[in-house]
Structure 1
Amino acid sequence: MKKQAIGFIDSGVGGLTVVKEAIRQLPNESIYYVGDTARCPYGPRPKEQILKFTWQMTQFLLSKDIKMLVIACNTATAAALVDIKKKLAIPVIGVILPGSRSAIKSTRNNQIGVIGTEGTVKSNEYKKMIRSKDTKAMVTSLACPKFVPLVESNEYDSAIAKKVVAETLRPLKNAGLDTLILGCTHYPLLHSIIQNVMGDSVTLIDSGAETISEVSTILDYFNLAVDSRDSKNTEYNFYTTGSIQMFEPIASQWLKIDNIKIEHIKLGL
């Protein structure tokens, strides 16, 4: 079972920020990734629909015999993590708990901000998680619905992106935050712009990067980690429900993988 791949699912390309950290921290592990770009964004969708789509991606990866599932999407984590964990025999990890833990460790004044999709913010999962572990923490949340389309259209480093981010984050500028959770795995692609808007006094928390530290711990705990002697068999396979031509440049640029393997798939048919 050790040599089986770790599965990652996301509403689009955002989960690639989690995969990038997985490749860095877990270079011996094989990775299968599904990005549901045809139905992205998930943020405005009803919970029942997000749960359905998340299960469809999960079932596809289970057919590939994965050894662990990472829900590399905050919206899907909020909507589906509990249900999927109950029904799968393999370890299932979301991105909300690791990001919350990191924010609590980081904050100095107990003023934590969360930015995410409409679905993630509406679920209130970050606030509930943080407050369950630290009742002194004050959590300010803001939905940023324009951020995901910027990333999915490969405009995350454009002048338009800088303008949209500055306008969207204006309500948080004077909120007294010293820590801000990037509560969507698309948002690390906007990291430098967000940091510039919020200022150097605000620590940005990449929930996806924090998740991989937890993945590493669980691999060791269940004795699932690939031995370095078997790393020659490591493979990275990417699947998208949308356009390969849209997915490939972002994946190649972000992950720095030569001859990246991307396949178009259909789900729910």
Structure 2
Amino acid sequence: MRNAPLGFFDSGVGGLTVVNAVQQLLPAEDIVYLGDTARVPYGSKSPETIRQFAHEDTRFLLDREVKMVIVACNTATAHALPSLQERYQVPVIGVIEPGVDAVLADPAAQRVGIIATRGTIRSHAYQHALALRRTGLIIHATPAPLLVPLIEENWLDHPATRAVLHTYLDPMLDRGIDTLMLACTHYPLLIPVLRDFLPEGVRIVDSATTCAELVRSELTKLDLLSDTTGKGSLQLHLTDLSDQFEDLARRFLAHSPGRIQRVVL
């Protein structure tokens, strides 16, 4: 199984930021990615529907004989990860726990701001995970639904984006947050803007980088790291294909995605 591919799924192409981070850490790994772009976004769906979609996505990846499934979607992780881990024999990991671990790795973290989709904030997954593991932690969680369309429009350093960030983040900054969690896989593209936007000393934790580090750790622990040399392959599957999704895939990966296949679940 060492040389079997890693399987990733997301409701769209935002999870490609996780793929990009994994490719930086583990360049020899082959990757199969499924973006359920025909049914994006998951964040506005009911928990039952999200779990149904997540199981369909996982079965698609297992049919391609992946050695691990990475739920590269915060909303799907929040609502479906336990049921996926219970049902399937391959390791299944999500993006929430590694982000929580990264926040709590700093003993000085006391006031944490979280921005995410409505579905992720509504699930309370991050809030519960943080509060259970560090008593006295002050958590400010805010849904930030306007950021995804702005990112997909490539308005990363646009005045409108900065105005929206002020609206979402100023109340958190007024409360003295020392850590900002980017709990959506789209948001790492905003990190350069956020570094200029946030006061010095506010730490940024993003779900893509932290998830990639967990993937490496789990593969090492399970003796599943690829023993091949050279650059791993990327198979990119989307349930709806458009020029917009191809352009987004290129930007989220920071390189050409190659051939993209349309699939039906």
TM-score range, shorter chain: over 0.9
CA distance in 2 between partners of 1:247 and 1:231 (Å): 31
Letter in 1 for 2:237: Y
Distance 1:243 1:40 in 2: 12
Q: Give matches, 1:121-140, under 5 Å.
A: 121-140=121-140
Aligned partner of 1:19 in structure 2 is: 19
The aligned residue for residue 204 of structure 2 is 204
Distance 1:69 1:46 in 2: 22
RMSD: 1.8
The 2-side partners of 1:162 and 1:118 are apart by 20
Any unmatched runs of 5+ in structure 1? none
Give the match for residue 233 of structure 2: 235
Counterpart residue number, 2:88: 88
| 2:189 aligned residue | 189
Q: Deviations over 1:125-155 (max 9, x none)?
A: 1111112211132211111111122233444
1:149 matched to 2:149? The reply is yes
Structure 2 residue ranges without an equivalent (≥5)? none
Q: 3-state SS of the aligned residue for 2:200?
A: coil
CA distance in 2, matches of 1:190, 1:44: 22
Q: Deviations over 1:23-55 (max 9, x none)?
A: 000111011111122222222211111111111
* SS of aligned partner of 1:214: helix
Residues 157-191 of structure 1, C-alpha deviation per residue, up to 9 Å, x if partnerless?
43432332222323212011000110111111122
Residues matched between the structures, number = 265
The structural deviation recorded for 1:217 is: 1.3
Write out aligned runs for 1:150-189 (5 A): 150-189=150-189
| Distance change in 2, residues 1:43/1:254 (3 Å) | closer
Q: How far apart, CA to CA, are the structure 2 residues paired with 1:94 and 1:222?
A: 17
Q: AA paired with 1:16? A: L
Contact 1:7 1:69 in 2 (8 A): yes
- Partner amino acid for 2:239? T
1:48 paired to 2:53: no
Q: Structure 1 residues 243 and 160 mapped into 2: Cα distance closer, same or farther (>3 Å)?
A: farther
2:56 aligned partner, one-letter code: Q
When normalised by structure 1's length, the TM-score is 0.92
Q: Which residue of 2 aligns with 1:250?
A: 248
Q: Does the 8 Å CA contact 1:244/1:262 hold for their aligned counterparts?
A: no
Q: Whole-Å Cα distance in 2 between the matches of residues 24 and 233 of structure 1?
A: 11
Residue aligning to 2:74: 74
Following the alignment from structure 1 to structure 2, what is the Cα–Cα distance between the partners of residues 191 and 124? Answer: 24
